[in-house]
Structure 1
Amino acid sequence: MSSSSSIKTVEPRSIYNPRNEVYHDLHPSEIRLVQLLPGQWADKIHCRLQHAYLANRPSYKALSYAWGSPRATRPILVNGCQHAVTVNLESALRRLRRVNSDVVIWIDALSINQSDHEERSAQVELMHDIFALTEEVIVYLGEVTSDDFTTLTKSVPTPATVFHFDGTDNEKLDIFELGAPRRRPTTGDTEKDHLPAFDYTTRQFLDTKYQRRLFEGLRQLMLCRWWNRIWVIQEVVVPETVTVVYGSATAPWEMFVNAARWDSRNRTSSAPLNFPREYSTVLAYFSRFILDINHMRELWRHGKQTSLLLLLRRFSGRRASDDRDKVYALLSLVRNQTSIFPNYSLTVPEVFQATVLDIIRTTRSLGVLAGDLGRKDRQDLPSWVPDWSTVYDDSDRRRDGMKNFNSTDGCAVYVQDEYTAKYTGIIEYLDDIEKAFKAKTGAKLDQVERWSVKWLSVILGTTDWMDYAPPEGTQASHEGVERFLAARGDAVCLRHIGSGIIELAGLHFDRIKFVGQPAISDDMLLSTIRSWGRLLQPHLQSLNERYLAREGNSLGSVFRRTLCADTIRTGSDTKGFTNRRLRNSAKDHASIAAWFLQGEQSEVKVDETLSIVSISDELRQFSSLFEDLGDLDSLLRDVPSQIDSAIRSATTRRTLFLTARGHMGLGPAKMREGDSLSILLGGKTPFILREAATRSISDHGYNKRQCFEVVGDCYTHGLMDGEAMRKWRRIHGKGKLAEKESEGAELDMTLVTSQVKGLTIEGEGENIKKGYIYLV
């Protein structure tokens, strides 16, 4: 479609804004396109702004680039007026300009009036459509900056090199070989033999000048700011056609994807091609960035749903000039699963808080609170709000993939917003239950009055909820249902009270008594974990007796399962990952023992013909942790890579802890003695909380309430599969919630009021009371 039929130049008499000589007001669903006028390489850049309706399907390209420093600018002409743009954008326009014809292109910095917050919010909502309807997205990485390569000059353009991702590219690749002839491979006909960087000849000389230039070029390419920009995710995921421009070179996106897939397959193959460490680091970095984005492209093309939480975690390391864009840049990829809309009148903390609450509302869980919440760059966020402006750590990302845990036994969470009526949260939740009930049974409830006793009893499947309702009150049914669902552990309300405070149901289950050295350095991981073993030494007998009595497992078994968070991950980047629980697999336990004992064996000569490998005396001190597996010397073996990966995933930036009542686990590096091991209903794992100042809570008559900060989630052996929740349910009778378990029970809980409030956990001389927990 020609641009002339769908793009109109705004005349002076149009909706002209006298305050701005460049920008005229946009109608809804209207965008601005940049008409890049032709010129020679050294000519000044001239542009015109044109308005177009997306519904008319105008023909245009879209530019994806990194803005660069706003303090380093160059002048161009826009609608005849001098206009300052960043150096990177001016360079991109110079590269894209043609000599004899116009180029019509959408460019955010020019197409959106950046000083108009209202227009900016509206146009950000349209960006998904803008990039979905473009004929081509041009990714401009920037100019080549290495001294070994050609750089951009003002006077003479570098001849263009266009890669087509086919056999015609070989001649261009040969240019980089600096005269080194390419020979036919004499080895097997493998895929990598056909890649000139890895053919038989160059594999023999991995340190050749050619290969050094090749990997230095890749490193320089990956240093381009574009890779770290948050908006590029949407800009590359949504369009059909993506072309990458780097200096004078142009190549299709698929060429990058193919290279990244090769590297991923090579790293997981049985006979990988090995590179020097610095080369491998560059390749891994390149592959991760490309495959992360392309994975989203494939999901999008197949119409699959992607959660906002997954996107925020996967791409949180990307940068934005405005931290609010860490959320807004990803919204269009969520496919109507969020109620968040771009609103630049909100502050960054307000946007991040609203995002967390929306994710909880959408997922009906506290999964968004998983991770090390204490790791923040911003200091103006509540402890329960992740800092989306900081980098989400790789170890946190790997732990996110472990969805085997269910510490609150499937309890759902619904949200009560700050400025809504008291029971709107439970009303929304019951609406969902009603829809599910109708879908499952096909029953029609149109003739039944909503919120009547009959309607509630039908969709809840019981009349037991009436035992929890107060005898009178205008909203007695609402209150009764809310208490009933909480008592059964089916669903609980999270109330946003305001001022960064939320209220939710939970248990302060135990107190942290001992904390080990945090596993910060990957190189020191083994010595750190051995220090955890020494931490257990004074308590070996008592802990062993406790675990045997509680669950029939030895201390050694509990310790080994804790080291890998009871999870072994298998698979690869290309084939996907699956998780399995360690449980009591003798082979896995022996492999974990071998990992712990590695590097400390010595060869002992028995006679002239026989020698044996033996454990060092230093490690004999840990024999009690492995004695259930047999003789220590018999445990020495090769450690499977998946065992090493499982331990590193579970322990990196974590620390071992013991509670006052003997629970063992792995928690955030910043946790400390005296913290609370807590169960927050709706969470998949327990949490580590820390006492904060008391606050006046308006929802309860401005009473002073003890508040807590979230340090992070944790793995706690024996509390990952709903154990506490099953006991919670057993002690709740029909409305009379004051039963006690029999004497000698491990967990003794007493509900001292008629509400889910005031839970008491008796344990080793301390009572911890809470039903509602207030997080700040």
Structure 2
Amino acid sequence: MSTATTNESNAGLGPYQYQPLAKGSGDIRLIKIVQVQEARGNDTDVILEIDMFHVPSVKLALISQCPDLQRSRLVGPENTFRALFTIHHSTQKTKTELYQPGEQVMLWIDALCINQVDVAEKNTQVPRMGQIYRQAKGAVGYIGAPEPGRDPGDGFLALAWFGNAPVIKPPEGIPADQSDPRFQEWYRSYQIQQENEPPQDFAEALTSLFANDWFLRCWVIQEMVLSRETVCLYGYGQDARSWSLKTMAMLIERGQSAANHRHDLNKAVKGSKARILELEKAVQVDSWRVLREDLAKKPSGLGIVELLSRTRFGKATDLRDKVYALLGLMNEEDVPVIRVDYSESYTAAQLFRDVAVHCMASLDGPATLVHAGLESSIRGLPTWVPDWSTMYRTPLNTGIYNACANLFRPINVLPGRRKLSALGVKVDIIAHTGIPMTYPDAQLEKHRMNRSTRDGTPDIFGLVLSAAILCERLRERHPAGYPLKHENWPDVVWRTCCVDRNWAGKRVTGNDRLSFHACLKRFGFGEDLFAAVKLDEATGQMPVQSASRSFQDSGLNEAALSFELMVIEFQKGRVLGTTAGGLFGSFPSTTKVGDIVVVLFGGWVPFVLRPVEEDLFELVGAAYVHGIMDGEWVQAAVAADEPDLLRDFVIQ
């Protein structure tokens, strides 16, 4: 028997001694909560008594009793203790898809059931976590708790309104527990009210819910995706509320897809001090739903690059867990090449490079490069190796472009695994850049409110202004229209600002153009975008500067807001710029004048390279270059049959 505490009141007990798991046996440890002792008048003096025992994982459903163990003190993370304490109270009083009130449940918690100081045990147990989640009856996700004094139920009520169901209080006779089948049956028949004011403290309650880092922990992904059923607990101890993850995912999906979602959300948070940035975590829940659906179609697992890119926001104390936490979701080709090694000698940099080398030998090579670049936070990592521990910029949706015109050539990792060689076509050299849209988290909230930041980072008005100024210079050189296609210059501006894609992840349509014109009108650009950015000789100012209106004064135009939020999202970590030959594009924020634009065979998008020395380059990152995203440049280069146009680029 082990005792877990929130303080050192049991300091007299000896530390718990893990008994080694039999090698090659497939055994795991399980936990059963025996009892809880709470000292009256002192919320921090709580003792959990648990039994921990070994069991073959194939017999999880057959365990009915535990052996007697010597009483000792088990030290674990505080959040693990809070989760166990809350689970105990929930199982005593709440009916969910996983347990009945009063039912004794057996738990597997990685923080306790794996001896965290035994490297050899971690190396063998971590790869089996996916199997454990699949065999278990379900998973309990402990989200955390709101600030003192706030009812955890307020967060779920706010989420319900976010899902376009403002009035969620069920009629008398229907339980308020959102995971109860009777509640879900009533909710399915509920007529959603399209026009409704948000509940009181909507923004604060919702952001309080999503402020919990649980939504971003990389180890949560496997639990939520692989488990048959999942119950989420929010709150602490007896005050916690339970919800089915399916209910949460349904509301978030509905909220994201609702036509008036963004308008309603901004109306609700206007003037609020709540951190709207936290709402981005809601997207993670929806991503788990999509992963479950994708795995149902591909039960053998998904590709490693796809998984890492889709879970990049996940956070881990040990950066190697960014990869290891996805083993249960990977396909059979990728899992065997992943070296699970928690020894100090095998670093995250080595793991990330090993993953990149493996991917370069497959069709995923160029797709891997899309997530790499100069901004790595890991010292010594080659620029072609993605640093999965951070987010450089909003990634381009490679599935909608075809810059390489379907021409594929293998990428060769050179001896020493520090450099690679890729065949491609040089497009042009960077001639001018605008003001970069930085990506640090500290700036995102300011971007959300469309306000200029103190470091000069542009808001949507500044971004469109920068685009118009850059294109006005090109327009003077190419009055007949944009190079290659002779496209109208205003179309070049708006399509490049949103990298020619919309919220649905597809290429833009006429409706998206209407939202761009609404944006121009809202900020005083008028009908002629380029006339608005020409300097007035008398005043020395641009007409648009005096005509523009601030975000707060302009009101909420739904069409304009759609374009603004879309551009701000897609341009994070990027900078607009032009090439010497007159092309306009969106490049990584670290792009400099003199960098070159190339298209690699097999790469669906162009890349920016920085010359280091003769025939040697660094990868700056992936780019959107208007007019060449469908293979136009590559097709012209191949048709010209000029040897100088095709070359191997060596990247370090």
Query: How does the TM-score come out when normalised to structure 2?
Result: 0.72
Per the alignment, residue 502 of structure 2 pairs with: 569
Matched, 1:408 2:404: yes
Q: 1:125 aligns with which of 124, 127, 143?
A: 127
Distance 2:619 2:262 in 1: 43
Per the alignment, residue 430 of structure 2 pairs with: 512
Gapped runs of 5+ residues in structure 2? 1-14, 39-45, 93-101, 153-168, 179-188, 439-446, 452-458, 537-556
Compared with structure 1, are the counterparts of its residues 720 and 270 closer, same or farther at alpha carbon in structure 2 (3 Å cutoff)?
closer
Distance 1:330 1:104 in 2: 24
Matched, 1:340 2:332: no
> Does structure 2 conserve the Cα–Cα contact (< 8 Å) formed by 1:29 and 1:54?
no
Per the alignment, residue 53 of structure 1 pairs with: 56
Aligned residues: 543
Find the residue that maps to 2:53 and give its secondary structure. strand
In the TM superposition, what are the counterparts of 1:480-495 in structure 2 within 5 Å?
491-495=409-413
In the TM superposition, what are the counterparts of 1:592-603 in structure 2 within 5 Å?
592=516, 595-596=519-520, 598-600=522-524
Per the alignment, residue 577 of structure 2 pairs with: 657
Distance 1:374 1:56 in 2: 49
Matched, 1:682 2:602: yes
Per the alignment, residue 92 of structure 1 pairs with: 83
State the shift of 1:168 in Å: 7.9
Find the residue that maps to 1:46 and give its secondary structure. strand
User: 1:270-297, CA deviations, whole angstroms, 9 ceiling, x for partnerless residues?
Assistant: 9958523347948944642322222222
Distance 1:30 1:557 in 2: 61
Compared with structure 1, are the counterparts of its residues 672 and 89 closer, same or farther at alpha carbon in structure 2 (3 Å cutoff)?
same
Distance 2:331 2:51 in 1: 34
User: 1:356-387, CA deviations, whole angstroms, 9 ceiling, x for partnerless residues?
Assistant: 23334443440222257333332332111222
In the TM superposition, what are the counterparts of 1:690-729 in structure 2 within 5 Å?
690-692=610-612, 706-729=615-638
> Does structure 1 conserve the Cα–Cα contact (< 8 Å) formed by 2:210 and 2:282?
no
> Does structure 2 conserve the Cα–Cα contact (< 8 Å) formed by 1:218 and 1:282?
no
In the TM superposition, what are the counterparts of 1:21-36 in structure 2 within 5 Å?
21-36=17-32
> Does structure 1 conserve the Cα–Cα contact (< 8 Å) formed by 2:490 and 2:529?
no
Compared with structure 1, are the counterparts of its residues 105 and 538 closer, same or farther at alpha carbon in structure 2 (3 Å cutoff)?
closer
State the shift of 1:556 in Å: 4.8
State the shift of 1:510 in Å: 2.2
Query: How does the TM-score come out when normalised to structure 1?
Result: 0.61
Q: Which amino acid aligns with 1:497?
A: P
In the TM superposition, what are the counterparts of 1:98-113 in structure 2 within 5 Å?
103-113=105-115
State the shift of 1:59 in Å: 4.7
In the TM superposition, what are the counterparts of 1:54-453 in structure 2 within 5 Å?
54-59=57-62, 79-97=70-88, 103-148=105-150, 191-192=191-192, 206=198, 211-212=200-201, 216-246=204-234, 247=236, 248=238, 249=240, 250-266=242-258, 268=260, 274-277=267-270, 278=272, 281=276, 284-285=279-280, 287-303=282-298, 306-338=302-334, 339-341=336-338, 342-345=340-343, 346-371=346-371, 373-391=373-391, 393=393, 395-396=394-395, 399-400=396-397, 403-412=399-408
Compared with structure 1, are the counterparts of its residues 364 and 545 closer, same or farther at alpha carbon in structure 2 (3 Å cutoff)?
same
State the shift of 1:709 in Å: 1.1
> Does structure 2 conserve the Cα–Cα contact (< 8 Å) formed by 1:313 and 1:392?
no
Find the residue that maps to 2:218 and give its secondary structure. coil
Find the residue that maps to 2:24 and give its secondary structure. coil
User: 1:180-213, CA deviations, whole angstroms, 9 ceiling, x for partnerless residues?
Assistant: xxxxxxxxx96345xxxx9x9xx56x57xxx22x
Q: 1:671 aligns with which of 584, 588, 591?
A: 591
Distance 1:406 1:509 in 2: 15
User: 1:111-148, CA deviations, whole angstroms, 9 ceiling, x for partnerless residues?
Assistant: 21222222212111110110111123122233454234
> Does structure 2 conserve the Cα–Cα contact (< 8 Å) formed by 1:47 and 1:78?
no
Task: Report the identity percentage.
Answer: 21
Compared with structure 1, are the counterparts of its residues 54 and 283 closer, same or farther at alpha carbon in structure 2 (3 Å cutoff)?
same
> Does structure 2 conserve the Cα–Cα contact (< 8 Å) formed by 1:406 and 1:722?
yes
Q: 2:475 aligns with which of 529, 537, 540?
A: 540
Distance 2:314 2:69 in 1: 30
Compared with structure 1, are the counterparts of its residues 638 and 146 closer, same or farther at alpha carbon in structure 2 (3 Å cutoff)?
closer
Distance 1:105 1:233 in 2: 18
User: 1:599-634, CA deviations, whole angstroms, 9 ceiling, x for partnerless residues?
Assistant: 3278xxxxxxxxxxx8799617399xxxxxxxxxxx
> Does structure 1 conserve the Cα–Cα contact (< 8 Å) formed by 2:596 and 2:609?
yes
> Does structure 1 conserve the Cα–Cα contact (< 8 Å) formed by 2:461 and 2:523?
no
State the shift of 1:729 in Å: 3.5
Q: Which amino acid aligns with 1:252?
A: S
Per the alignment, residue 534 of structure 2 pairs with: 621
State the shift of 1:681 in Å: 2.0
> Does structure 1 conserve the Cα–Cα contact (< 8 Å) formed by 2:207 and 2:275?
no
> Does structure 1 conserve the Cα–Cα contact (< 8 Å) formed by 2:423 and 2:601?
yes
Compared with structure 1, are the counterparts of its residues 59 and 639 closer, same or farther at alpha carbon in structure 2 (3 Å cutoff)?
same
Deviates more, 1:324-333 or 1:259-268: 259-268
Compared with structure 1, are the counterparts of its residues 96 and 645 closer, same or farther at alpha carbon in structure 2 (3 Å cutoff)?
closer
Q: Which amino acid aligns with 2:322?
A: K
> Does structure 1 conserve the Cα–Cα contact (< 8 Å) formed by 2:357 and 2:413?
no
> Does structure 1 conserve the Cα–Cα contact (< 8 Å) formed by 2:430 and 2:595?
yes
Distance 1:293 1:638 in 2: 29
Compared with structure 1, are the counterparts of its residues 332 and 551 closer, same or farther at alpha carbon in structure 2 (3 Å cutoff)?
same
RCO (CA 8 Å, sep 6+): is it higher in 1 or 2?
Answer: 2
Find the residue that maps to 1:673 and give its secondary structure. coil
> Does structure 2 conserve the Cα–Cα contact (< 8 Å) formed by 1:37 and 1:101?
no
Compared with structure 1, are the counterparts of its residues 94 and 594 closer, same or farther at alpha carbon in structure 2 (3 Å cutoff)?
closer
State the shift of 1:501 in Å: 1.6
Distance 1:527 1:540 in 2: 19
Distance 2:502 2:103 in 1: 55
> Does structure 2 conserve the Cα–Cα contact (< 8 Å) formed by 1:408 and 1:682?
yes
Q: Which amino acid aligns with 1:83?
A: L
Deviates more, 1:120-129 or 1:553-562: 553-562
Q: Which has the higher strand share?
A: 1
Compared with structure 1, are the counterparts of its residues 411 and 282 closer, same or farther at alpha carbon in structure 2 (3 Å cutoff)?
closer
State the shift of 1:597 in Å: 5.3
Per the alignment, residue 651 of structure 2 pairs with: 775
Find the residue that maps to 1:251 and give its secondary structure. strand
Distance 1:146 1:557 in 2: 52
RMSD: 4.0
